[in-house]
Structure 1
Amino acid sequence: MNTLVIYTHPNHQSLSYAFLQEVLRGSRENAEVTEIKVLDLYEEGFDPVLVFNEQKRRRDMHSDPRLAVYREQLIWADRIVLVYPIWWGRPPAMLMGYIDQMFASGFAYRDKGGMLPEGLLKGKSVVCISVMKGPAHYPLLWLGNAHKILMRKALFNYVGIRKVKFFEFGSMESPRGKHERKLQQVYRYFKTVRG
């Protein structure tokens, strides 16, 4: 099981970074995990800005040589783990810029002329770990579960990834946020998860 962890937070003193460490600790103790790679989008200096002009066309994005290493990481991965905060009800712009560029037609999916495309990333699994200041039920009650719908249906199911798990932790800026218990929950999951 090859695991690609995509970390999206500009601060390595953050709670998101603490969750990243638990993902890595649990994965290293899991006998099914063959190799782990971490892509820290901020540390990498990933450019999330889309540019389309006469020289750079959207339909050619799937073969952009600047993104080749990131495409290779996604192909290599059996499990993709995303660790990020929820800001304004959605993942950070840096992660969305990565998604816009990486999950391109011709690489992540292929149009078949019908309503839904052919997903080209079948067989992979995804785990989304997100933290937010607001209460845990805020995304469901106030936003109609927009974050999970965006990630599961509009993105991962669209490209053929059916196995998507969420750890969506709320009230994380509160002293009553049960941080240690949630960190341990993530550690135990990655230590024992199969397939």
Structure 2
Amino acid sequence: MNTLVIYIHPNHQSLNYAFLQEVLRGSRENAKVAEIQVLDLYDEGFDPVLVFNEHKRRRDMHTDPALAKYREQLMWADKIVLVYPIWWGRPPAMLMGYIDQMFASGFAYRDKGGLLPEGLLKGKSVVCISTMQGPTHYPLLMLHNAHKVLMRKALFNFVGIRKVKFFEFGSMESKRGKHARKLERIYQYFKTAS
């Protein structure tokens, strides 16, 4: 199994970075993982801004040479792991900009003229690891699970990815946030994940 870990946080001293390290530690100890690649969108200097004009058309985004490396990573990966904070009830703009550009028509899905397109990323799985300042159940109780609906239904199911797992960790800025236990949970999951 090839694993692509996408890290979306500007600070390497953050708790999100600690979660990234546990993903890598567990994956390296997992005999089912053949290779691991890490894409740090901030370190990479990924530009999340969409630009369309007379020279750059949306319908050609799936062949944009500037995005070729990222398309190759997504095709190579059997498992895609996203590590990011929840800000204002949703993933960071950097991640949304990556999604806007990478999950393009002609690459991630194909329009068939019907109600739903053909997902072209079938067979892959995704794990979303997110942290937030508020309580763990805040997105469910106050936002009607908007984050999970966005990621699972509006994105991953749309492109053919059916196996999506979420780890949403709340109260992460609290001294009583049980950080060590949550980090251990991520390590144990990736140590045995298939």
Q: TM-score range by the shorter chain?
A: over 0.9
Deviations along 1:36-63, whole A, 9 cap, x unmatched? 0000000000000000000000000000
Number of the residue aligned with 2:82? 82
Quote how far apart the aligned CAs of 1:29 are: 0.1
Tell whether 2:28 aligns with 1:24: no
Which 5+ residue runs of structure 1 have no aligned equivalent?
none
Number of the residue aligned with 1:92? 92
Distance in 2, matches of 1:178 and 1:131, equals 12
Distance in 2, matches of 1:169 and 1:114, equals 38
Distance in 2, matches of 1:193 and 1:59, equals 37
Number of the residue aligned with 1:173? 173
Deviations along 1:41-94, whole A, 9 cap, x unmatched? 000000000000000000000000000000000000000000000000000000
Letter in 1 for 2:161: I
Distance in 2, matches of 1:138 and 1:18, equals 23
Number of the residue aligned with 1:108? 108
Letter in 1 for 2:171: S
Quote how far apart the aligned CAs of 1:185 are: 0.2
Quote how far apart the aligned CAs of 1:165 are: 0.1
Distance in 1, matches of 2:177 and 2:64, equals 42
Number of the residue aligned with 1:163? 163
Distance in 1, matches of 2:193 and 2:94, equals 28
TM-score, L = length of structure 1: 0.99
Letter in 2 for 1:80: I
Tell whether 2:38 aligns with 1:60: no
Number of the residue aligned with 1:43? 43
Quote how far apart the aligned CAs of 1:162 are: 0.2
Distance in 2, matches of 1:39 and 1:90, equals 20
RMSD over aligned Cα, in angstroms?
0.3
Quote how far apart the aligned CAs of 1:138 are: 0.5
Distance in 2, matches of 1:5 and 1:107, equals 20
Letter in 2 for 1:5: V
TM-score, L = length of structure 2: 1.00
Distance in 2, matches of 1:18 and 1:193, equals 19
Number of the residue aligned with 1:148? 148
Quote how far apart the aligned CAs of 1:183 are: 0.2
Distance in 1, matches of 2:117 and 2:18, equals 37
Q: Secondary structure at the match of 1:84?
A: strand
Distance in 1, matches of 2:52 and 2:139, equals 33
- Percent identical: 86
Distance in 2, matches of 1:2 and 1:81, equals 11
Q: Across the two proteins, how many residue pairs are aligned to each other?
A: 194
Distance in 2, matches of 1:142 and 1:97, equals 25
Deviations along 1:138-179, whole A, 9 cap, x unmatched? 000110100000000000000000000000000000001000
Number of the residue aligned with 1:122? 122
